[in-house]
Amino acid sequence: MKKFKLNKKNHFLTLLMLVLVFMLFFVSFAVKRMENYMMSSGEENMTAVIEQMEQAYDLRVSNIYERLGRIERNLFQDENRSVVLEECQYFLSVMTDDPSGHILFIKENGQVMTAEGIESYLDIQSSSLLKLKKKERIAQSVSWNVNSKKESIYLVALPCEEYYVDGNEFSAIGFLFNRSGIDSLFEVSGYSGHALLFSVDENGIVTYTNQVGDKYYRNYSLLKHMKQDGYITEYQYEKLNKEIKNFGKGVEICSDGQYYLGFRPLRSNSSELICIVPSTALNNSLLSYQGIAVRMIVVGMLIFAALTMILFFLSSKMSQALDKAKYEEETRKIKEEAMAALKIERDRADYANQAKSQFLSNMSHDIRTPMNAIVGFTSLAIAHIDDDKTILKDYLEKISVSSEHLLSLINDVLDMSRIESGKIQIQETECSLPALAHGLRSILQSAVNSKNLEFHIDTVDVQHEKIFCDKLRVNQILLNIASNAVKYTNPGGTVSIKFTEIPGAPEKYADFTFSVTDTGIGMSEDFIKTIFEPFTREKNSTVSRIEGTGLGMAITKNIVDMMGGTVSVTSRPGAGSEFVVKLRFRTVDDGEMDTIPELDGFRALVADDNMDSCGSVAKMLRSAGLRPEWTTSGKEVIFRTRMSIEENDPFRVYIIDWMMPDMNGIEVVRRVRSEIGDDIPIIILTAYDWHNIEKEAREAGVTAFCSKPLFKSELYNALKNAEDYSAQNTEEYEAPEHFKGKRVLVVDDVELNREIAAAVIEDAGMTVELAENGREAVDMISASDEGWYDIVLMDIMMPVMDGYEAAIRIRRLENRKLADIPIIAMTANAFEEDRMAALKAGMDDHLSKPIEIDRLYDMMVKYLK
């Protein structure tokens, strides 16, 4: 019986032991599984943390890029660039939680300028500068040198087309803000604060880290240093390098299990986020979780499950409440930002609509004014066609003036439309400043004379007379400003234009200042702030009676900006205005002007009532080897002449202004000749048409004439060829002799256009044949003999077949001599893209309507030689 009890006890103990063993085995197995599971979960948690940081970072940086892109898109089209900069500055500052953030314009060498005009230097890695040069985005920590203090700060930069800001050339635009705006995205609350964070580019160079030390900002290669220090093997180094270049993601165990390295791509700036955590930090966390798991098993799975469910339920409710509050707050902020942006856009649209409505009202009035004159004087001319030709000529001249004004209105509207659409282009060709200045005077002289204005064009220190520029656009800039000066200056006032070359330009470049000054009605301070905005004119009783679209200054400002220059204005009501345009041009190397041996060392006398003109001419004479003197009095010229003879050091050259205040220039010449005889050259300098006084001047002893403004090359030519200088200024255009007998095919669907072209061409001695459309022109040329037609003037917009298609068909003719006939587009399609389309279709050249006879003859000379 005792044995039985013992055996029973043994069985119980055995069973108990088995149960205990089973329990120990189960606990050990559960702990091991839990450990493995926890280790796996740790890696997944590490991956999730990196993924959350990557998503937050990419969202913020992408938003910054979007704002920078908006600025870049508006740099050349938006006249309110300051408004766009202010708006984007606000959003970027809010986005990065840094009110002191800066929008930057960045050069390729790291030099920068803030939107407020502060110039500084970014201590940025060379690899990042190279990425900007390759038009790639960057986002990284940099050192910023400002106010002699270096700050560690974060830069997000977007490359763009090269452009100019205040005369400086930049190739990227960026936003610089406090690193806390990025550090907050990369905060890691776990791992006992031992997580090391880095962002590296495709070459493994550190662009951001949460660690302290300047070495990380000097092209620091993270993986290379980890390999050198033994934290990763050669195999891991190659694998991680490959993963980073391919924007891979994953977790690696390094240094024999001492560190965990997680990596994931930051696609917004083509870099990789790397997180390194010591295994001790990770294991301590895992062991704490393991202890909790063991205790939960001992206490009981049900209690653990119940508590887990309760905790999960409460956590879920709290998380939902927090998420809802956060969502509502973010939604509120987004709505407020959207409403603010919508208000700005609405105000801008309202302003634009109001301005354009006013513009249409102005245009309706301004177009009807010249149209009324054209219609009225045409009716009068028809009614008086058999009367005195003087009356008829007067009517036709007034029709011509009104037509030119109407054409200028249309051109302004078209130019503004092309500027807003971004289609206007700057075409640089070789240009002569003397020709530009004299052409400007010729255009303005009629308006100046009609208002009895005092008109000056002067030059100051102009050393480079030949430049590369868009002559049409430079002429347009100066005409827009100068014609306004004439328009708004009362009779008897003064308008002055000055060409000044400023020293200090780089080699093979020249800096010029063009200033236009008047004594006109002036402008208010409020209007000056908006003068360069389209469709704006000052509202006062004087201006309202003057015709204009309010587009001229807006067009001028846009063209100057596209040429990389600046335009400014100063004015006061009733005290006149001054516009100053600054431009830089490439120069044409035409060599230095030598001294004139025959005059080297001799005295010269300049007489002009304008001291600036005297000083400018004196400098030119000095460079020619003479010893110049000047005076503003005609009587003093006579006195100095007598004194020079008495001193036995006579003047060998005289340059005398025609209109002197105390004595007429011709009278001065007459008296000087009585003292010096006929051998000394005397040159009359005049701002007026000297042909009417040429006979009287020659009889008084004038040797030659020079027109203001006077350039160095013109003065040299006058001095070297004083005897026949006047012949250079008496040319009149005549049709070349070789025009006679040439046959021209004019293709135009408008009968009036064909009639005008035929009359102009026949006046030059050529024969004309006419075609009404492109199909008819192709048939006529195909059926003609070789050499029958010498040239074709082709309209573009025609029925049946347009000019482009006709030119293509002609160029495809089997007979090459017929196919190669010169074709000139003569069309109202006057823009640069129209000219390029004509050339692409096979035409040789492009001439825009309305046709200027001299330009037509010059172009025909080119192809009929």
Q: What is the pLDDT of residue 731?
A: 41
Q: Read off the pTM.
A: 0.43
C-alpha 784/C-alpha 801 separation (Å) is 19
Q: What is the pLDDT of residue 545?
A: 45
Q: Which residue has the higher pLDDT, 396 or 319?
A: 396
> Which residues, in sequence order, are bridge partners of residue 113?
105, 119
The torsion defined by the Cα of 235, 239, 244 and 247, in degrees rounded to 10, comes to -170
Q: Is the pLDDT of residue 681 over 90?
A: no
Averaged pLDDT for residues 790-809: 92
Q: Could you report the per-residue pLDDT of 146-198, keeping only the tens digit for each?
A: 665 666 788 899 888 777 776 778 888 888 888 777 877 777 666 666 788 88
> Which residues, in sequence order, are bridge partners of residue 746?
770, 793
Averaged pLDDT for residues 626-651: 88
Q: Could you report the per-residue pLDDT of 484-525, keeping only the tens digit for each?
A: 888 889 888 999 999 999 998 898 899 999 999 999 888 888
Q: What is the pLDDT of residue 46?
A: 75
Q: Is the pLDDT of residue 311 over 60?
A: no
Answer yes or no: are the C-beta atoms of 718 and 744 closer than 8 Å: no
The torsion defined by the Cα of 11, 17, 23 and 26, in degrees rounded to 10, comes to -100
DSSP letter at 572 equals -
- Report the percentage of the chain scoring pLDDT > 90: 11
Judged by DSSP in three states, 689 sits in: coil
Q: Which residue has the higher pLDDT, 612 or 681?
A: 681
Comparing CA positions, the residue from 151, 66, 148, 59 lying closest to residue 101 is 151
Least confident segment among 301-315, 497-511, 573-587, 657-671: 301-315
Of the ranges 32-46, 215-229, 543-557, the best mean pLDDT one? 215-229
C-alpha 58/C-alpha 522 separation (Å) is 54
The CA–CA distances, whole Å, from 526 to 537, 541, 573, 850 equal 12, 17, 11, 39
The pLDDT-based confidence of 805 (bands split at 50, 70, 90) is very high
Q: Which residue has the higher pLDDT, 292 or 522?
A: 522
Q: Could you report the per-residue pLDDT of 115-156, keeping only the tens digit for each?
A: 777 888 887 877 788 888 888 888 888 877 666 566 678 889
Q: Is the pLDDT of residue 546 over 70?
A: no
Answer yes or no: are the C-beta atoms of 278 and 42 closer than 8 Å: no
Q: Which residue has the higher pLDDT, 295 or 386?
A: 386
Q: Is the pLDDT of residue 679 over 50?
A: yes
Least confident segment among 252-261, 305-314, 639-648: 305-314
Q: What is the pLDDT of residue 541?
A: 40
Judged by DSSP in three states, 552 sits in: helix
Taking the CB of residue 295, how many other CB atoms lie within 10 A of it?
Answer: 10
